[in-house]
Chains A and B, each alone.
Chain A
């Protein structure tokens, strides 16, 4: 997995520095990430938001989750169920998770590999964001694409010129994933 945003602080080759950090530093980090993710999971289960859900993958690795969002009403994605994968870096929440659409999707800010162009998942990431806020942001991105910086230029053009044709492309590309 390619964590392009991964924190250099933890990976920088500073032998001298690394030796100074006691060995519990690394353990402590994992512990902190786990603690934070458990708290997020609890939050999602106690007070679920309509149209979004997320759960850690069955492999017991809390650092990778699968999430689902439902397309908002009155958008071309209405009632579509879209699956996403979350991969959390070791220094989460100080670096953003890597989020990909697993369900094929036709959208101006998503490429055909499912990669997403959204500022809060890149340079505008803040440690106050969490799985739930990311999913809500993505849900609103479905209805309001950022056509100024498209990953899929054709989709951006079509969104502006022909909504009916756009929706036809969305439905043609969509493919429900089997439950794993």
Chain B
């Protein structure tokens, strides 16, 4: 069956291995071959085939000894924002070219403990700053559905690799939409859990109060399996949520009260914020999302109108807070302890200035400039403090909505994937396109992108689902029901078939 081995999702691959149809070594080798054959996609930044095969064989041995778990032997790959001992960790930046971390990120460690096989590290926007993966110092990743299009970002490599069937599941991080938007652009399923569900230890920090790790995979079921393994309390992260380990897969499968086979979502109230359906919303996206909502209704859900009045404000609020935190988080990249150091300099300050000028790309520099400015003397109250106050108002708006509904739904992005190079050098244009993912990020709420169909040029469109704090189970349940009734998440781009 090795012809379509790469079509296996996470759960399917685990089942195939359990049933003895395939070994982890075979599956891993098959995927490594595909990865090697498609470097032009730009999804992977680093691969260690021998290490991957060794892990696969070890997994096969454990399985033979009857010690297999739900993820044993399943190949995954990690966004290169997670530090790893075995492979270089670059954060997509020249600053960290070839950086060797002495430790593994908690998320990476946990997936390894669960028996997954690490194929390699995945491309991303530099320090996760971007929404097209065009800000990577190692070149853009491309959209498998149309390689002249961007895969989205910042987890562009993760989304492209999963969509192109190079790996069944991948890790990503989402600060302002970096899991959901690329998932939407490439027709894969991605979930950003509640802030604090996944440890940030070993995730190279962009904006500490917003960064969250999450999985990208074919289906909600696959995401549930990966998230269960990735998540959990970590004493090394003071913002990690102190709660018992969660079985998101079981939560996903748990039937709702009053549900029937035909109406699994009976009684589920889905709120539609008027602000998520503006006139400016691209017709193909609007149409696809409306169709998906109609499907959810058929499955028993009721749609209610709600309002998130500060949706548009979330753009300036986010682009004040995230760069402010980033400007400080990136100060450690000074050429002293690790990473790039300029070859020529006059003195200490000159060494700093040249090292950082050479090591950082344009978007990172822009955000450092914005962040430094809004924190600087005389501007803090007007910008940073004001933004943090608005952030609370935005979070409160969500709580008002959740008084009327169980989940919130809308588009992930205003358009389908745009063409590479389309944004030119107008960063604000890209910032505005984050409008639908930023509110949940600012509030720290869990959000998903679920393949909902296809828009202009046959490019994928994602449906965004947002839940209340720690309601990942409810999100996954709704997404799973939708995917039981539709096959958008099973569609693969031509080249990947």
Say whether A associates with B. no
Q: Give chain A's interface residues, CB within 8 Å of chain B.
A: none
Q: Give chain B's interface residues, CB within 8 Å of chain A.
A: none
